[in-house]
């Protein structure tokens, strides 16, 4: 079998001497030009705990690749830190970075005809961006997750990144001293690794392991563990096996694999951002996945894991119990996962789990089916006159299933943050944050800072919050995001006024403002779209190309006659046949 069927387009064509000369000038030998090329992409950069160690892990991947007689070629792409940008205008670039990551990996691997791809990733948008590129290219590929951060501690209190945001709410309300506030900041992030709870990074890493696109335990090995380094070294053998089998991302990321991923997200109580990202990955893989599919899984699958933000455990606690493979084995035994699906190991999910012990009564992190945290899923899709195309709620069961009250409306996150500081938020209110959607934000920023501040102020169980923006995986409380159509496009949120009565019902999956159709029509006729929030650059390009949240905020959506066209891969078979 030819393993270098892509790179040979450059290395075996006598009409491309300049290409070969530059590869030799870059340090390759004639022998190397006969080997398969593996692109090793890292989203490593120094200014973020999630990503600061990734370049080092990518070096280990390169060593493992070389040991298998493959040529590893390192390259980097960007990463935007959600933790650093939350609560400021930098967050507008976060979701946008997913598209930049996907586009840049696709461009690099596509232009240079790499035969296989390994992506070493950390923070939230790194993972879906990498998977989207893999699906578009459809060459033997796998993802290496950088792993979770250690938990922090201050004065006997266990800390993580969300502790900082909630400490701000306590500080504003005079509940903690400046000294303790600074102490929390200095101790919350004690080293490298992604945010430690079942926030977006760990949610996506677990879901992608369920998709079959990482080696077993990648999502739960701690960032600083020797096992994470060994995983990187072993990657070369897995990549060679993928090349020999010609096993590609679209062979692995099937409809059934996405259903496994949805089950895992639900059982773990994962981030609502999984809705956006899994829909986007599925779109890139040519698989139709909708919000209704998430609801169908939530209707039949319970929440079992007692993980932060709404629970008490971190990923590092799960790793000590056997990690995500132990969870998968438990779910396989329950009949909740399909074990017959291929993975990047070249074996099926069930074969990967053959020697893994399920989690039993010796622990309380993962509840048994007979005693779930919530009998159905926490991710609920709501519809109504405020969200005719749907919205995404995260209801863990601790917030109740229904909330109604008068609206208090803010036209930006900054306005809400000031409202919190001015003590304008009162118990019983439904807080509305609008014009923060994919176009209105732009970039659909997360609302972690205000939700955490509300929690810190002791209002978490006394108010609800709805927005056309997103929530962090660290958000908890009665919160509904991804409201679609967004306010910037004239969605229902654009018409709400202070004092309007809003009814949110997670049991009936509805969200409505109690206004007549006639009153809504009158307000809609008087509404005017705000001016563009930006006038140039990447954010303007995003506004002009991004789909709505119900379609995953992708920027390559083609609709014809109301139907979404699923994409094909980048390099045609005809191009390969001519190589």
- The domain that holds 411 is classified in CATH as 3.50.30.80
Whether residue 164 is contained in a domain is answered as no
Burial of 464 (0-12, 13-18, 19+ CB in 10 A): buried
The pLDDT, as a whole number, for residue 396 is 77
> Does residue 410 sit in helix, strand or coil?
strand
CB 42, CB 120: distance < 8 Å: yes
Task: Identify the domain boundary among 333, 352, 371.
Answer: 352
What pLDDT is recorded for position 574? 46
Q: How far is Cα 506 from Cα 528, in angstroms, rounded to an integer? A: 31
Find, among 382, 372, 377, the residue nearest to 506 by Cα: 382
Q: Are residues 541 and 521 in the same domain?
A: no
Q: Determine, yes or no, domain membership for 118.
A: yes
Asked if residue 456 is part of any domain, the answer here is yes
For the whole model, what pTM was predicted?
Answer: 0.96
Residue 346 forms part of a structural domain: yes
**Residue 493 in contact with residue 437, Cβ under 8 Å?**
no
Same domain, 58 and 141: yes
- DSSP annotation of 300: H
d(CA 362, CA 93): 44
The pLDDT score that the predictor gives to residue 571 is: 61
Catalytic, out of 298, 472, 547, 550: 472
Write the CA distances from 346 to 141, 154, 357, integer angstroms: 12, 45, 21
Within this chain, do residues 68 and 197 fall inside the same structural domain, yes or no?
Answer: yes
Q: Is residue 31 part of a domain?
A: yes
Helix, strand and coil in the chain, % to nearest 5:
40, 15, 45
* Backbone torsions φ then ψ of 231, nearest 5 degrees: -55, -45
For residue 325, being part of any structural domain is answered with: yes
Distance CA(130)–CA(97), nearest Å, equals 11
Nearest to 303 by CA among 363, 263, 361, 261: 263
pLDDT in the model for residue 518: 97
Expressed as residue numbers, the domain containing 471 is 381-526
Buried b (16+ CB within 10 A) or exposed e, 210-234: bbbbbbbbbbbbbbbbeebbebbbb
pLDDT at residue 310, as a whole number: 83
125 is in an annotated binding site: yes
Residue 50 is assigned to a ligand binding site: yes
**Whole-angstrom Cα distance, residue 290 to residue 383?**
14
Say whether both 122 and 260 belong to one domain. Answer: yes
**Pair 211, 280 in one domain:** yes
d(CA 158, CA 150): 11
pLDDT on residue 575: 54
Flag whether 56 is in a domain.
yes
pLDDT at res. 105: 98
- Tell me which residue of 168, 164, 171 sits closest to 187, measured CA to CA: 164
Alpha carbon distance 377, 275 (integer Å)? 13
pLDDT for 280 equals 98
Kindly provide the residue ranges of all beta strands, DSSP E only, lying in 425-477, ordered along the sequence: 430-433, 464-467
Indicate if 515 and 543 belong to the same structural domain. no
Same domain for 317 and 407, yes or no, is no
At 438, give phi and psi (nearest 5°).
Answer: -55, -40
Cα 469 from Cα 172, distance rounded (Å):
24
In a domain, 113, yes or no: yes
Residue 516: active-site member: no
Q: Tell whether 84 and 213 lie within a shared domain.
A: yes
- Which residue intervals of 397-530 are DSSP H helices? 413-421, 448-456, 517-526
Task: Tell me how many domains the chain contains.
Answer: 3
CB 493 within 8 A of CB 184: no
Together in a domain, 109 and 196: yes
Is 413 within any annotated ligand binding site? no
CA-wise closest residue to 140 among 103, 119, 115, 121: 115
Q: Reduced to 3 states, what is the DSSP secondary structure of residue 430?
A: strand
Question: Domain holding 345: CATH number?
Answer: 3.40.50.2300
List average pLDDT for each run of 10 residues in the chain, which is 579 residues long.
Answer: 95 96 98 98 97 98 98 98 91 97 98 98 96 98 97 92 85 90 96 93 97 98 97 98 98 98 97 96 98 98 93 94 98 98 98 97 97 95 98 84 96 91 93 97 90 81 94 79 98 98 96 98 97 96 97 93 77 54
Rounded Cα gap, residues 259 and 282, in angstroms? 11
Q: Do 338 and 242 share a structural domain? A: yes
**pLDDT of the residue at 535:** 95
For 422: left if phi > 0, alpha if psi spans -120 to 50, otherwise beta; the answer is: alpha
Same domain, 563 and 517: no
Q: Are residues 502 and 567 in the same domain?
A: no
Element of type H or E holding 9: helix 8-11
């Amino acid at each position: 079998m030819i393993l270098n069927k892509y790179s040979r387009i450059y290395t075996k064509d006598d009409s491309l001497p300049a290409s070969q000369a530059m590869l030799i000038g870059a340090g390759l030998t004639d022998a190397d030009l006969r080997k398969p090329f593996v692109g090793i992409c890292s989203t490593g950069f120094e200014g973020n705990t999630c990503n600061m160690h990734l370049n080092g892990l990518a070096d280990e991947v390169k060593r493992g690749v070389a040991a298998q007689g493959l040529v590893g070629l390192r390259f980097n792409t960007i990463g935007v830190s959600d933790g650093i940008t939350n609560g400021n205008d930098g967050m507008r670039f976060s979701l946008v970075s997913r598209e930049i990551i996907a586009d840049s990996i696709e461009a690099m691997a596509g232009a240079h005809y790499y035969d296989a791809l390994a992506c070493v990733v950390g923070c939230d948008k790194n993972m879906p961006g990498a998977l989207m590129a893999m699906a578009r290219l459809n060459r033997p590929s796998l993802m290496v997750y950088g792993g979770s951060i250690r938990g922090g501690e201050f004065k006997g209190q266990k800390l993580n990144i969300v502790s900082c945001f909630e400490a701000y709410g306590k500080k504003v309300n005079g509940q903690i001293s400046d000294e303790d506030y600074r102490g929390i900041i200095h101790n919350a992030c004690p080293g490298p690794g992604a945010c430690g709870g079942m926030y977006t990074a760990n949610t996506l890493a677990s879901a992608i392991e369920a998709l079959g696109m990482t080696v077993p335990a990648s999502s739960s090995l701690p960032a600083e563990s020797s096992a994470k380094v060994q995983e990187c070294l072993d990657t070369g053998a897995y990549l060679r096996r993928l090349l020999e089998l010609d096993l590609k991302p679209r062979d692995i990321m099937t409809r059934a694999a996405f259903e496994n991923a949805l089950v895992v997200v639900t059982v773990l109580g994962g981030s609502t951002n999984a809705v956006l990202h899994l829909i986007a990955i599925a779109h890139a893989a040519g698989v139709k996945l909708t919000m209704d599919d998430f609801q169908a899984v939530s209707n039949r699958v319970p929440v079992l894991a007692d993980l932060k933000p709404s629970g008490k455990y971190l990923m590092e606690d799960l790793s000590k119990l056997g990690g995500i493979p132990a969870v998968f084995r438990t779910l396989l035994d329950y009949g909740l996962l399909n074990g017959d699906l291929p993975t990047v190991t070249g074996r099926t999910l069930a074969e990967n789990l053959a020697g893994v012990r399920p989690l039993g009564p010796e622990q309380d992190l993962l509840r048994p089916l007979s005693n779930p945290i919530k009998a159905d899923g926490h991710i609920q899709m709501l519809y109504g006159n405020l969200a005719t195309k749907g919205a995404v709620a995260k209801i863990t069961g601790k917030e109740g299933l229904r909330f109604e009250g008068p609206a208090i409306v803010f036209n930006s996150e900054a306005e809400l943050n000031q409202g919190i500081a001015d003590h304008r938020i009162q118990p019983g209110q439904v807080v509305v944050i609008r014009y923060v959607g994919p176009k209105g934000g732009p970039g659909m920023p997360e609302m972690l800072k205000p939700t955490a501040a509300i929690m810190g102020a002791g209002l978490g169980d006394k108010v609800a919050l709805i927005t056309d923006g997103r929530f962090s995986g660290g958000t908890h409380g009665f919160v509904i995001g991804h409201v679609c159509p967004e306010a910037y496009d004239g969605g229902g949120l654009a018409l709400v006024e202070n004092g309007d009565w809003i009814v949110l019902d997670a049991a009936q999956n509805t969200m409505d403002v109690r206004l007549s159709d006639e009153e809504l029509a009158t307000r809609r006729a008087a509404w005017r779209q705000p001016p563009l929030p930006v006038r140039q650059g990447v954010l303007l390009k995003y506004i002009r190309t991004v789909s709505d949240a119900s379609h995953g905020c992708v920027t390559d959506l083609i609709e014809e006659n109301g139907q979404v066209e699923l994409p094909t891969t980048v390099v045609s078979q005809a191009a390969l046949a001519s190589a």
